[in-house]
Structure 1
Amino acid sequence: MLNITLKSWLHAARLRTLPLASASIILGSALAFSQQQFSAGVLGLALVTALLLQILSNLANDYGDAVKGLDDDSRVGPKRAIQAGLLTKQQMLRAIVVVALLSIGSGLALLAVSLGANLQAWLGFISLGGLAIVAAMAYTMGARPYGYRGFGDISVFLFFGLLGVLGCYYLHTQSINLAVVLVATANGLLATAVLNINNLRDFKPDQQAGKLTLAVRLGETRARYYHLLLIFSALLLLAVFVAWQAPSSLAWLFALPGLALVKVANTVFTHYQHHILDQQLQATAKLSFVVALLFSIGLQIQF
Structure 2
Amino acid sequence: MATAKSWIKAARPRTLPLALSGILMGCGLAWFYDAVQAAVSVLAIITATCIQVFSNFANDYGDSQRGTDNEFRLGPTRTVQSGEISKKEMETGMFVVGGLSFLLGIWLVFLGTWSSSKTAFFSFIGLGILSLVAAYFYTAGKKSYGYIGLGDLFVFLFFGLLPVAGVFYLNAGFIFPEIFLPAITIGFFSTGVLNLNNMRDIDNDRNSGKITIPVRMGARKSRFYHLFMIFIGWASAVVFTLNHFHSPWQFLFVLVLPFFVRDLVGIFRIQNDRQLDPFLKRLALSTLAFTLLFCVGLIIASQ
Scaled to the shorter chain, the TM-score interval is over 0.9
Q: Counterparts of 1:69-88 in structure 2 under 5 Å?
A: 69-88=67-86
- The Cα shift of 1:247 comes to 4.7
- State the match for 2:21 in structure 1: 23
Gaps of 5+ in 1: none
Q: Is the 8 A contact 1:157 1:192 kept in 2?
A: yes
Q: Following TM superposition, by how much is the alpha carbon of 1:267 offset from its aligned partner in structure 2, in angstroms?
A: 1.5
Structure 2 distance, partners of 1:69, 1:195, is 19
1:156-212 residue CA offsets vs partner (Å, 9 max, x unmatched):
000111101000000011111122110101110000001100000011110111100
**Structure 1, 103-112 or 214-223: larger mean CA deviation:** 214-223
Partner of residue 155, structure 1: 154
TM-score normalized by the length of structure 1: 0.96
What is the distance in 2 between the residues matched to 1:99 and 1:75?
A: 27
Return the alpha-carbon distance in structure 2 between the equivalents of residues 300 and 168 of structure 1: 17
Aligned ranges 1:117-136 → 2 under 5 Å: 117=115, 118-136=117-135
C-alpha separation between the residues in 2 aligned to 1:134 and 1:121?
Answer: 20
Q: Could you tell me how far apart the structure 2 residues matched to 1:200 and 1:249 are?
A: 37
1:249 Cα offset (Å): 4.0
SS in 1 for 2:282: helix
Partner of 1:300: 299
Whole-Å separation in 2 of the counterparts to 1:126 and 1:93: 23
Aligned length in residues: 301
Q: How does 1:166-181 map to 2 (within 5 A)?
A: 166-181=165-180
Give the letter for the 1:51 counterpart.
Answer: T
Q: Residues of 2 paired with 1:257 and 1:19: CA distance?
A: 15
Q: CA deviation at 1:269?
A: 2.2
In structure 1, the partner of 2:87 is 89
Alignment partners' CA distance in 2, 1:279 and 1:273:
12
Separation in structure 1 between the aligned mates of residue 246 and residue 222 of structure 2, nearest angstrom: 34
Pair 1:100 & 2:108 matched: no
The C-alpha deviation readout for 1:23-58, integer Å capped at 9, x for no partner, is 111000010011111111111111111111111110
- Deviation at 1:258? 2.2
**SS of aligned partner of 1:78:** coil
Instruction: Name the counterpart of 1:197.
Output: 196
Q: What amino acid is aligned across from residue 269 of structure 2 in structure 1?
A: T
- Deviation, 1:259, is 2.5
Amino acid at match of 1:39: Q
Q: Report the identity percentage.
A: 41
Match of 2:53 among 42, 52, 55: 55
CA contact (8 A) 1:249 1:300 kept: no
- Unpaired runs of 5+ in structure 2? none
Match of 1:114 among 103, 112, 115: 112
Number of the residue aligned with 2:236: 237
User: Could you give the per-residue CA deviations for residues 74-101 of structure 1, whole angstroms, max 9, x where no partner exists?
Assistant: 1111111112221101100111111110
User: 3-state SS of the aligned residue for 2:4?
Assistant: helix
| TM-score, normalised with respect to structure 2 | 0.96
Separation in structure 1 between the aligned mates of residue 28 and residue 289 of structure 2, nearest angstrom: 14
Specify the alignment match of 2:267 in structure 1.
268
Deviations 1:211-240 (A, max 9, x none): 001111111111111000000110111111
CA distance in 1: counterparts of 2:35 and 2:239, whole angstroms: 23
| Root mean square deviation, CA, Å | 1.3
Partner of 1:279: 278
Equivalent position SS for 2:184: helix
Give the distance between the partners of 2:108 and 2:298, measured in 1 at CA.
25
Q: Name which of structure 1's ranges 264-273 and 143-152 shifts more when overlaid on structure 2.
A: 264-273
